[in-house]
Amino acid sequence: MRSLVDFKNPKHACKLTGFLPVHVAVANGLTAMYNMLIDLPGMPIEFDDLRASDMTLSLVGKNKDYGVLSPLQVPTPPPTHLATK
């Protein structure tokens, strides 16, 4: 079970950006997913060390522009033309 839930494990990082699941949630504006990754609701206290952290830094992937970023430093996509009209 532990290997299925470890959101800080580098093997779960994107090969291109180095983003971990918490970075992907922030970059895509998925607040419910972010909250789930940080809290892991329903998991016992023994799993506290596996919860994602808002201080977790991304790894360096093939696109080095996104390496070593905290989730709050992750660029979000620009607004679409529909949102700016």
Per-residue pLDDT band for 77 (boundaries 50, 70, 90) equals low
On whether the CB atoms of residues 38 and 22 are closer than 8 A, the answer is: yes
pLDDT computed for residue 4 by the predictor: 61
- Is 48 within the bounds of a domain? yes
CA–CA gap between residue 78 and residue 41 (Å, rounded): 31
Q: Domain containing 37: what range?
A: 2-54
Q: How many domains does the chain have?
A: 1
Q: What integer is the mean pLDDT of 26-35?
A: 88
What is the reported pLDDT for 78?
53
Q: Is residue 45 part of a domain?
A: yes
Question: Could you report the per-residue pLDDT of 15-29, keeping only the tens digit for each?
Answer: 888 888 888 888 888
Answer yes or no: is 40 within a domain: yes
Q: What is the residue-averaged pLDDT of the chain? A: 77
Q: Is the dihedral of CA 26, 30, 14, 64 positive or negative?
A: negative
User: Does 12 reside within a domain?
Assistant: yes
Contact 2/50 with Cβ under 8 angstroms?
yes
pLDDT at position 79 is 53
What proportion of the chain, given as a percentage, has pLDDT over 70? 81
SS3 category, 80: coil
